[in-house]
Amino acid sequence: CKEITEENMEEIHLMGRSLRHGLRSFWRLEALKKESGGARTRVLEENIEEMVHI
């Protein structure tokens, strides 16, 4: 685990912001897929796991 300092606080903040943005786009995509009948919850969960570990 990286030591949180004043310097990398902003870096972490920016990373979190882009991650949230990516998740929003991801959920929008999943919602569209769900509407067209392609809901696969298990795959969705695995994708989130992968995204969080990047």
User: 27-42: per-residue pLDDT in tens?
Assistant: 888 887 777 665 555 6
Mean pLDDT of the chain: 76
Nearest to 50, CA basis, from 30, 23, 25, 31:
23
Q: In this structure, is residue 38 part of a structural domain?
A: yes
The torsion defined by the Cα of 14, 15, 20 and 21, in degrees rounded to 10, comes to: 70
Q: In this structure, is residue 1 part of a structural domain?
A: no
Residue 42 token pair: 């298990």
Query: In this structure, are residues 39 and 33 in contact, taking their beta carbons and an 8 Å threshold?
Result: yes
pLDDT of residue 8: 84
Q: In this structure, is residue 12 part of a structural domain?
A: yes
- Its domain, for residue 14, covers 6-53
Residue 52 token pair: 């969080």
What pTM, to 2 d.p., does this model score?
0.37
Q: In this structure, is residue 34 part of a structural domain?
A: yes
pLDDT of residue 7: 78
Q: Is the pLDDT of residue 2 over 80?
A: no
